[in-house]
Amino acid sequence: MGKLSLPYGRSRQELTAGACEVLDSHIQDLPKCADETAVVRAAMEAPIGSPRLRELAAGKKTAVLIISDHTRPVPSRHIVPLMLQELREGNPDIRVTLLVATGCHRGTLREELEHKLGGDILERERIVVHDCDASPMTDMGVLPSGARLIINSLVAESDLVVAEGFIEPHFFAGFSGGRKSILPGVCSRTTVLGNHCAAFIDSPRATMGTLEGNPINRDMEAAARMGRLAYIVNVVIDAEKRVVAAFAGDALKAHHTGCAFLRRYCVVRPERPGDIVVTSNGGAPLDQNVYQAVKGLTTAASAAAPGAALIICAACADGIGGEAFYQALRGCDSASSLLKDIRAVPMERTVPDQWQYQILARIIEDHPVIFATRPELRTAIGEMKMTYAPSLEEALCLARGLKGENARLTVIPDGVSVIVEPA
């Protein structure tokens, strides 16, 4: 009997498992760097497909630096100061605005910005938090899907648009980072909803680790071009949220290079699908609510046999993470009936959080889901057609009750860090 440890909030949950297959990324195989800032600086000194940032800043009056919000573990303290330094080396008089890419999330709080950026930048720089409903917006035209690109006017009117970010597998956009700073990061709710429509979410190419042929990524990359995202600095981080690699330069070329690099360390190929699959959502801040934990469950489902039991542990410090998300699962007769209703919704009538409960309903339709989290969420978890458990150990007991003591067990310690592909 071996002990496994999975991230849970800012701590861990232990699991006693017998014979099992563990699917883990190989990010830990990368050499640890003593100086994370040096890794970022080296990438910025050799940008991919682009001049250096200081050259891009020359002659520009204004620049917008898009930064990540509170839901992303981007190590901004190692990125943003270097980007600001280069912008001002190229043009000491350039007026820089830091724009927080919240997408449709709640606004990032001042204390969250201080934790992300440090007090010095918070006090010195002009920082604006994007609001997908209330920020001034500019219509930039039509995306390949036919949806309109309506973007924060600070971006539309700036002479230079750059962004920070990090790259990880994403459960329907393929990978995070890069073009996502624009869409959904700083777009109107209308544009985000169109990009996350039912037909796109249902696409077999809208999966973890897939960019080519992914309709969601296609519109995102078009949005980056139309929004004139000129330069990015994106990093890859390890399980301790430390920088292990960095990619700077052209928004699409640098991002694709980073994705190809990460894929080598993230792809796992199980020997056989599991009858019980256990995972986490990577710990805080990625497991801050049930909404975000759908990502880890998507990974678990991709490693599961038909009808397999799925287990996820997530601390969910912020609770459910969306009233519409909660009410959709709570109010439906079944996951199948909810999916039927969602698939009848045209792009222009997509509603907030539809994509998240579409994916969760699709998982629940195929698998019993056991959710190990705080006891305060017991009732809500049950109402959302899942089974509550107070711990991973209890969840595994419940799953073995469903699938049998000899059920094949697969454990994915960090469900947001791996891409599961057939052997």
In a domain, 118, yes or no: yes
Contacts 24+ apart (CB under 8 A), 69-72: 69/100, 69/101, 69/102, 69/103, 69/105, 69/108, 69/129, 70/105, 70/108, 70/109, 70/112, 70/116, 70/285, 71/105, 71/285, 71/286, 71/288, 71/292, 72/165, 72/166, 72/176, 72/285
We report the CATH number of the domain holding residue 280 as 3.90.226.30
Same domain, 63 and 145: yes
In a domain, 28, yes or no: no
Q: Give the residue numbers spanning the domain of 410.
A: 2-23+270-420
Same domain, 280 and 169: no
pLDDT in tens, the chain (423 residues): 578 999 999 999 999 988 999 999 887 788 788 899 999 999 999 999 999 999 999 999 999 999 999 878 899 999 999 999 999 999 999 999 999 999 988 888 999 999 999 999 999 999 999 999 999 999 999 999 999 999 999 999 999 999 999 998 999 999 999 999 999 999 999 999 999 999 999 999 999 999 999 999 999 999 999 999 999 999 999 878 899 999 999 999 999 999 999 999 999 999 999 999 999 999 998 899 999 999 999 999 999 999 999 999 999 999 999 899 999 999 999 999 999 999 999 999 999 899 999 999 999 999 999 999 999 999 999 999 999 999 999 999 999 999 999 999 999 999 998 999 987
Domain count, the chain: 2
Quick one: CA dihedral 350, 351, 353, 356, positive or negative? negative
In a domain, 12, yes or no: yes
Same domain, 11 and 47: no
Same domain, 247 and 311: no
Same domain, 238 and 303: no
Same domain, 297 and 342: yes
Same domain, 278 and 258: no
Domain edge (last residue) among 247, 265, 283: 265
Same domain, 48 and 137: yes
Model pTM?
Answer: 0.90
Active site residues: 105, 170
Same domain, 250 and 278: no
Same domain, 238 and 125: yes
